[in-house]
Amino acid sequence: MLASSIALAADTAFTYQGSLMESGSPMTGTVDIDVSLWNALAAGSQVGSTQNIEDVPVTDGLFSLELDFGAAALDGDRWLEITINGTTLSPRQKVTASPYSIQTRGIFVDDDGQVAIGTPVPTAQLDVRSSTGIQPALYVESTSPGGQAIRVRSDGTGGPALTVAHLGESGNAISLWAGAFSPVGYAIRARNFAESGLARGIDAWTFSSTGRGVTGNANSSTGVTYGVYGEVFGNPDGFGVFSNGKLGSSGFKTFRIDHPTDPENKYLVHYSSEGPEPINEYSGNVNLGADGSAWVQLPDYFEMINIDFRYTLTAIGAPAPGLYIASEVQDNAFRIAGGKAGLKVSWEVKGRRNDPYARAYGAPVIVEKQGIEIGKYLQPQLFGKPESMGMTPFQIDAQLSTETIDR
C-alpha cells in the first residue's frame, strides 16, 4: 500500500488517499480498513480511538478515507497505523504538514472548534495568550481610511460585548491612544443606544483606597482644554456632570456663558462664594403691613435641611434704623418688625446645611492627606515644586507622557 496524499478538510477531519496493490496489480473491489493514531513510529501509545471503515471502494488500486481524531489528538508528532481486512501494514506513516495545519506552532483547535494561540486549552471561541517578553499578545492593525482595527459586537442579553481584566500588580487593563493623531479623533468613543433604563456610555469602577473611577487630563499648554467635558443635548433637566457625593475643585468654581453683549467673541464668567461652612442662602423682598411688620414664609423644607440661621435686612426707599427680627424662624417662617407701613424690605436668611448627608458625613475644613497624597501637591507649580511632586496619575506615572507608539 502507498499513501499518495493527506489533505486537510474544512474542520478537524482530513482526507487520506492511498493505493492498494494485489499480486503486483492495482486492486479493484471493497475492503475493510481500520486506522489508528500513534505517538511513535513503533510501539508508543495510541492516541484517540480507532477509526473503523467498512466496505471501502477501491478502484484501480486507489481509495480515499475521511479521518477525524479530533483537534486535541494532533498536538504532537503522530503516525497512522493502517489495517486492511485484518492485516496491519508496516511501517506506520507519519502524519505530515496538512493535518498539522489544524494544530501547529502554538495554534490549537479543540473538538468544539475553539481556537487557542499560546495555550493548548482554549477557553473561548478565540483564546490568545502571551506569557513572555513585552510584546502584546494580540496586535491588530487596519490601514484602510475607513476601516476598523477591531469591532466588537454582542447580541446576547446580560453579558458584555468586551471584558478586559488586568491581574498584574501594576499597569493598565486598557491603554488606548488615538493612533491616527487626528485633531477630531477619539481615544475612546462610547455609545449606548438604549432609550430607557439606567443605560451608561461608560461605567467605570475602582476599589482602591486611593483610586479614581475616571481620570481626565488635558496635556496641552495652550488653548482652552478640558480634562473631562460633559454635555446634555436637548434636555433641560439633564446634567452635563453630576456628583453623587462631594464635588471638589482646587481652582475656582464658576459659571461661564456666552457674553450677553458679544456672544460670538466673549464669555461671561461669575464665581461662587467660598467659606468654611456649607451654607444655604434664601432671599427676597417683602412690604411691611400697617403695623410696620411682616411675616416671611420660607420653603416648607427649610427647617428640615438648615440650622444656625443668620439674617440680613435692608430697607428700600427710606431709612429704617429700627428694623429687627421680631420672631426667628419657626414653622418655616420668620417675622420682621420695626419699620413703617408699606416700607419695602429686602431680606436674606442663611442656614448651615443640615440635611441627612451633612449630618452623616459632616463638612471638615482641614483634612489630613493620606497614602500616596502625603508629600504631594495638587498644583506643585504654585509652590515652586517640580511636576513630579504632583498627585495626579499623570504626574505620579510620569513616563506615560513620554510613551510612544510602535508604529
Question: What number of CA atoms fall less than 13 Å from residue 159's CA on the CB side?
Answer: 9
4: left (phi over 0), alpha (psi -120 to 50) or beta: alpha
CB contact at 8 A, 190 and 200: no
- Residues 6 or more apart whose CB falls under 8 angstroms from that of 117 comprise 106, 107, 108, 126, 127, 128, 129
pLDDT score at 3? 43
Taking all residues of the chain, what is their mean pLDDT, rounded to a whole number?
81
Give the residue from 331, 278, 335, 265 showing the smallest Cα distance to 300.
331
Name the stretches of the chain with pLDDT < 50.
1-5, 7-10, 97, 99-102, 180, 396, 398-407
C-alpha cell at 68: 477525524
Give the Cα separation of 30 and 250 in Å (integer): 89
pLDDT of residue 7: 47
- Residue 3's contacts (CB-CB under 8 Å, 6 or more residues apart) are 16, 17, 18, 19, 80, 93
CB 155 within 8 A of CB 143: no
The domains located in the chain, with CATH, are: 2-107 (2.60.40), 279-361 (2.60.40), 371-402 (no CATH)
Per DSSP, 396 falls in state H
Classified as helix, coil or strand, 80 is strand
Question: 122, 116 in Cβ contact below 8 A?
Answer: yes
Q: How far apart are CA 279 and CA 353, in angstroms?
A: 6
Dihedral Cα 255, 257, 259, 265, nearest 10 deg: 120
- Are the C-beta atoms of residues 152 and 162 closer than 8 Å to each other? yes
pLDDT at res. 158: 66
Q: How far is residue 298's CA from residue 331's CA, in Å, rounded to a whole number?
A: 9
**288 touches 340 (CB < 8 A):** yes
Q: How far is the C-alpha of 217 from the C-alpha of 215, rounded, in Å?
A: 7
Q: In this structure, what C-alpha cell is assigned to residue 278?
A: 456649607
What pLDDT was estimated at residue 208?
76
How many of the other CB atoms lie within 10 Å of CB of 201?
Answer: 10
The Cα–Cα gap between 92 and 47 comes to 14
SS3 62: strand
C-alpha cell read off for 41 = 513510529
- Whole-model pTM? 0.58
Q: How many whole angstroms separate alpha carbon 310 and alpha carbon 329?
A: 10
pLDDT in tens, 313-353: 999 999 999 999 999 999 999 999 999 999 999 999 999 99
SS3 content of the chain, % helix, strand, coil (to 5): 10, 30, 60
DSSP sequence for 303-353:
HHHEEEEEEEEEEESS--TT-EEEE---SSEEEEESS-TT-EEEEEEEEEE
Residue at 34: amino acid letter:
D
Q: What is the pLDDT of residue 345?
A: 98
Please give the angle made by the CA atoms of 365, 371 and 374, to the nearest 5 degrees.
65
* Residue 73 per-residue DSSP state: G
Strand order in the sheet with 333-337: 294-297, 333-337, 324-327
In 3D space, the residue among 77, 99, 109, 76 whose CA is nearest the CA of residue 6 turns out to be: 99
